[in-house]
Every structure is written in structure tokens, then in C-alpha cells.
Amino acid sequence: MALIVQKYGGTSVGSIDRIRKVAKRVMDKRNAGHQLVVVLSAMGKTTDELVKLAKEISPHPDERDLDMLVSTGEQVSIALLSMALQREGCRAVALTGWQAGILTDCCHGDARIRHFENNRICGHLQEGKVVIVAGFQGVDEHGEITTLGRGGSDTSAVALAASLGAERCEIYTDVTGVFTADPRLVPTAQKLSAISYQDMLDLAQLGAGVLHPRSVETARKRHVRLVVRSSFSDEEGTYVGADVPAQAESVARGIAHQEQISILWVKGREIHRRTPMLTGNLREAGVMANAVLHGTDLLSFPVATEQHKKAAAFLQEQQESLGFDEMEAEHGFAMVSLVGVSRHASSKVPKTIKRKMKALQVPIRWFHQSERKVSIALPAEQVKTAVRALHRELGLDAGEKLAVK
């Protein structure tokens, strides 16, 4: 008998009918002799609706009050699943984050899990119950409800699996696994049977929405075996782990894309000497930034447009210590990234990308290459054209042979 942690996203529990189907899937696993801890997101768009309500009251709601409000979404879904299981004769108990012993730091809206007090969960498991835990939330040292940020239920599930020593963590979503590109954008994308922690982390950080980056970081650090699969079918999913062999002849693992990107340009004499400090400070402030140097006095990096003002304000506060003279911003871009670039193709891929974009008359405004990754920023309205064309050009379409010239 194995201990398994399952996580179901908002789409998977978006209606009463879907919750009943989740209950059946849970019972099938339980009847096979396994112990189950089930982590749930809020139903459908509940969290968005709660945030909208808050902003109708106040454009800048108090962060503590906002966490108090949005944490109720998961409480609805866990209670309903517990009811559904018990109606079918399966013993179950629903626990909020604080009841489950999920202890976090004090950062409302983007808290990080510090540790777990598992006694209550373990006690219920020993009694033969399915334990249903509210994802996305915890409690800080002062007893205040905190939330883990968007995608936080993934992190809740992986961290619980690590803490409990689960055999694996199964992430159920609305797609059948991890694909070489977003299958809603690229119908010819291929599902991967397995992917390494590092490639999955790169895809997640660069826009692939199937897993939250923090959950992958936790899985890699704590050696949690992940499986990503659909809650709407019995199709085999994608295994995420450390023991994934490198691809033999493939150019890359996949393509990720992000919309609503802004590019910040920072100019200052010998700015290149301060690049590590600048990008490091931005990351500490919660803004992910990959910087590109243009000579010695010009630096550029893309940020999510929603983080543009935060990044700009932070840089202005640090202007004297960072030693730059001017800062400008451009908006209306998307970023397309090729992830898991193999060594044999690393020198050829950038040329292929540039040649293809030139042929399609898609201007590249920003370009960055690092180990196993290549990213470009281009006009937002051309992201679909670019992703589909590169996916085909690099041989990632289903049934295609990889051929980089």
C-alpha cells in the first residue's frame, strides 16, 4: 500500500458533476489499497471572482483581508469533495491549510511554506480516511491566514508529498500531460512521456502553465516523483523526475511562450559591472529578469507587463547604487523560448530562429541565449505565428524528424 498525494486544479473541480468524477477517481485509487491525501484548488474561476469583489470594495485591498477572502474558495471545494466521498461510503475529512499544519512565512499573497506539522494528517490516514487539504493556503506564526500566490496549490501538493514521504505526487489538470508546446496554440504539439526537473522548471518559468515553477523547484530539491495527467481521461501522463535520459537526436524539449511582456532598457556608464547586482536585486523583489548586455553601457530585460511598474519603481529606488542614468520601457511584446536545447544543436538553433523570423517578417526586439535555452521577444500579435512556425521548423511537430540547418 502506497501513500499518494493527488492535486486537482480549478478546472477539474469546476462543477458538482466534475467533483463527483474526482470522487470516483479518488475512490478507485483508495479501493486499490492506497492511502490518499488530496489537495484541491478553488472551483473554476472562484479566486478571480473573489479578487474582483474585493476590488469593487477597494482598488487596493488590505493584503491580510484579501488572503482571508480568497482562501475561502478552496474551503468550498474540499468540503464538497468530502461530502461526495462520504455519500459513497468512503471515509474522508476536509482540512483547511491551517488545520493541515501548513506553516508559512508572513508574506501575504505570496507566502512560502516553512514546515509542516503532520500529526493531524497522519492520524486521519491511520484511521483509514482520505484526507482532503485546501491548496494555496497556510498559516503564519501569528495565526494569520496566508496564501501562496497563483499556482500555489501545486506547491502545497508537492511540499505535502515531500513532508509525508509519499511515493509520488499526481498533478491532475485539463491537459493529458506536458507537451512540446501549448496544445491549445499548437495542435501538432507532442505529449512528452517524461521530462527532467530542470527542463520542466525552465518551461514553467518561461510560460508553460501546466506546473507552477515553485512546485517544480520543491520537487527537485526534495526528490518528489511527479506525474502530470488529465482528470478527464485515463490516458498516461508525463513523468517528471531526475532519472530522465537525455534526448538522443532531438533539438529541444519544447517551446514556451509568455504574453503581455514589457522590455526595460537601462543605460549607464559601465552598467555591465552592475548587471549581476541588478538582476539579483530584482529577483529578491519578486521580479524574474534575464538581462542582455549591449556593449558596456546598455542593458535590457523583459518582465511581465503586470510587473513593469513594480520593476521600474524598484530600479528608480536603487538608481544611485546601481549607477545608471536613464531607464525606458517598451510594451506590447510576447516572449517565445526554446527550452532543453541539446548540445549538438546549441550553435545552430539561434541561426534557425533568426532566419525563420526574418522569412516571416516577424521582428525580434530582444534575444537571449543561455545554457539549453534561447528566448526572443517579438510583437504580441505575432506570437501564434512564431510559435507554430518554430515548432514546425525545429521538427517538434508530431511525426516530424528534427532537422536544424
Amino acid identity, position 110: D
Amino acid identity, position 171: I
240 CB-side CA count, 13 A: 34
Angle at 277 between CA 276 and CA 281, to 5 degrees: 115
286 CB neighbour count, 10 Å cutoff? 13
pLDDT digit string (tens) for 314-324?
888 878 777 78
In the chain, what percentage of residues exceed pLDDT 90? Answer: 71
What is the pLDDT, as a whole number, of residue 197? Answer: 95
Question: At residue 246, does pLDDT exceed 70?
Answer: no
pLDDT digit string (tens) for 45-77?
999 999 999 999 999 999 999 999 999 999 999
Average pLDDT over residues 162-175: 95
pLDDT digit string (tens) for 253-277?
999 999 999 998 988 887 777 777 7
Amino acid identity, position 275: T
The sign one gets for the Cα dihedral 181, 366, 385, 304 is positive
User: What's the rounded Cα separation, in Å, for the pair 91 and 85?
Assistant: 7
User: Rounded to an integer, what is the distance from CA 29 to the centroid of its chain?
Assistant: 26
Name the CATH superfamily, with its identifier, for domain 3-173.
Answer: Acetylglutamate kinase-like (3.40.1160.10)
CATH architecture of the domain 254-393 equals 2-Layer Sandwich (3.30)
User: What's the rounded Cα separation, in Å, for the pair 401 and 255?
Assistant: 16
Cβ density class 219-237: b for 16+ within 10 Å, e for less: bbeeebbbbbbbbeeeeeb
Check: CB of residue 268 under 8 Å from CB of residue 319. no
What is the pLDDT, as a whole number, of residue 150? Answer: 81
pTM flag (> 0.95): no
Whose cell is 505565428? That residue is 385
Question: At residue 339, does pLDDT exceed 50?
Answer: yes
What is the pLDDT, as a whole number, of residue 2? Answer: 93
Question: Which residues, at least 6 apart from 183, have a Cβ–Cβ distance to it below 8 Å?
Answer: 175, 189
User: What's the rounded Cα separation, in Å, for the pair 222 and 233?
Assistant: 29
- Three-class secondary structure of residue 375 per DSSP: strand
What is the pLDDT, as a whole number, of residue 249? Answer: 60
User: What's the rounded Cα separation, in Å, for the pair 339 and 341?
Assistant: 6
Name the residue ranges covered by the structural domains of the chain.
3-173, 254-393
Q: Of 82-86, 304-308, 349-353, which has the strongest mean pLDDT?
A: 82-86
